[in-house]
Amino acid sequence: MSIEEPGFVADVKPGKVHQTIRGHVDALLRDLAYEEYRVRSGQKDESELGAVFGLHPAASELDSERELRHLLDREEDVERGSRLRLLLESVTLHRLDAGVAELSDALANDEARQRIDLPGGGTAAYRHGWMLLANEPDRGRRGALEAALLRAVAELNPRRAAIHLRTHELAAGSGRGLYARLVEEVSGLEAAPLAAGAAAFERETEDAYREHLDWSLRRELELPLGRAARHDLARLFRGCGHDASFPANRMLATVSGFLERLGIEPRAAGRIRLDAETRPRKNPCAFCVAPEIPGEVYLAVRPSDGAEAYAAFLHELGRALHLAHARADLPMERRRLGDASVPEAIALTFDHLLLSEAWLRRVAGMSRPEEFLRHAWLRELFLVRRHGAKLRYEMELHRDERTEGKAELYVHALTTATRVPYPAEAFLEDVDRHFFRARRMRARLLEAQLSDYLVRNHGEDWFVNPAAGRFLKDLWAGGQRWTAAELSALVGGPGLEFGALRDRILRKLA
């Protein structure tokens, strides 16, 4: 199957105003990426998003938004109209972000400075506390660590509430209705059907989830499901018993090895700039940002033991490879903008290699991966249920600008989905901006189909098949040309529905 469509990159020349806005959006995205990289990699002490937005006002002003709507209303060309809609989405959401940039900077900088008290004495950076919690074998100490982390979360909730309120005020100021309606309009997302599908998925997997989670908790932590806390799930899904198969000192070599057999250069001929240095303020989670696409993509990681660390690195590597292989002659909108579910699905295709028995045997060197696979598929079921609950909660959170009474909704949704008590303190901290949770859920539905296509056409060991590598590079070359629904059709999928994902997970756990 050829992934390209003739003529899809035809560059329709924008008018002068359109070109000005387009140039500012491109420059803003570049400078935001630089800012994110410097702060998250620990090379810059404080976030200064406000200053970055101030450099490129036309990329986030209400006047630009109105001008793009005016142009879109008159546009008859399909390609030009599609790209105008992408620009409109970018400017609208960046207008909301710019309006809270100083509040967001204050929150990020306070969070970076936060310290938590450790059980038995001493302190640790808040951002490293969740990793410490998952690595803590003593249940009493885990509980104390979580309590300290939640105190830190609660301390900054007034800042989060201020961002929530101001975001809703900015959305209302555009005259386009409530925040949730505005985001759905400019993004084309329909959150309600997706949330309904997630709710059905939760009901249809309830018995299997309870059974397998209870069995795993009893086996690994000597704890029945009815007594488990959220921190117990963090410890369970950390999967420390499998660390020998996922050592930190082999992470980069392991990944490079199978990519080379796939026919893919791990650093994309220098376009991917790997940052594996250890810095005191560096974010412990792997991340990827791209100031220039495809030429300058930063992939930052702090190699550590464990399957979760490998999965996080593979996820961001998949994102980096996609960005670094986009055709340089694509219009800016097709390189930088688009349906975010697609790059997220490509990233998931790589981190879900840890759900592949063939990959675990051939690449990770597991001789008997069955026990790990039971663990990994249960974790996947947990994550899908949790994503669905968070999406439903975020829809309720954003029905209006108020935060009163929303903590109870959060506790109910997350506790029901995961079957362990969730803390009220996290009701504003555990939230994605602009309904990105919906994008993540759509990505999981798409990834199941993309992975199935790779297996059907290139075998269970597609990850060492150069033909699969060529298919992926052709896909990546299109940048963000396709929506998730379009890519589902291209790989012969049934569309973005939950049945295939549900059946896949339940079959693996049977």
In this model, does residue 7 exceed pLDDT 50? Answer: no
Residue 175 binned pLDDT confidence (cut-offs 50, 70, 90): confident
Which whole number is the average pLDDT over 281-310? Answer: 94
Residue 289: strand, helix, or coil: strand
Beta bridge partners of 296: 292
What is residue 6's predicted lDDT score, i.e. its pLDDT?
A: 35
Reply yes or no on whether the pLDDT at 504 is more than 60: yes
pLDDT at 356 over 60: yes
Residue 247 has which token pair?
Answer: 């050592």
Residue 277 CB partners (closer than 8 Å, separation 6+): none
Measured between alpha carbons, how far is 440 from 348 in angstroms, rounded to an integer? 10
- Residue-wise pLDDT tens digits, 20-34: 899 999 999 999 999
Find the Cα–Cα–Cα–Cα dihedral 384, 387, 391, 396, rounded to 10°: 110
State the pLDDT at residue 9: 42
Sketch the domain layout of the chain as residue ranges: 15-114+156-188, 189-510
Q: How far apart are CA 376 and CA 353, in angstroms?
A: 11
Token pair, residue 486, equals 């379009």
Cis peptide before 294 (omega within 30 of 0): yes
Tokens coding 478: 């299109």
CA dihedral for 272, 299, 88, 26, sign (positive or negative):
negative
* Distance separating alpha carbons of residues 344 and 359, to the nearest angstrom: 21
CA–CA distance from 56 to each of 51, 285, 291, 334 (Å)? 9, 29, 15, 20
CA angle centred on 378, ends 132 and 489, rounded to 5° = 115
Per residue in 101-155, pLDDT tens?
Answer: 999 999 999 999 999 999 988 999 998 999 999 999 999 999 999 999 999 999 9
Structure confidence by residue, pLDDT tens digits, 233-276: 999 999 999 999 999 999 999 999 999 999 999 999 999 999 99
The dihedral through the CA atoms of 219, 223, 227, 232 has a sign that is negative
For the chain, give the mean pLDDT.
Answer: 93
Q: What is the mean pLDDT of residues 215-232?
A: 96
Percent of the chain past pLDDT 90, that is, above it, reads 88
What is the band of 17 on the pLDDT scale with cuts at 50, 70, 90?
Answer: confident
**Quick one: tokens of 372?**
């790990």
If one looks up domain 189-510 in CATH, what number appears? 1.10.1370.30
Instruction: Report, as an integer, the average pLDDT of 44-72.
Output: 94
Crossing angle (nearest 10°) for helices 16-40 and 62-74: 130
Which DSSP state fits 356?
Answer: -
Q: Global pTM? A: 0.94
pLDDT for position 5 = 45
- What would the mean pLDDT of 415-423 be, rounded to a whole number? 97
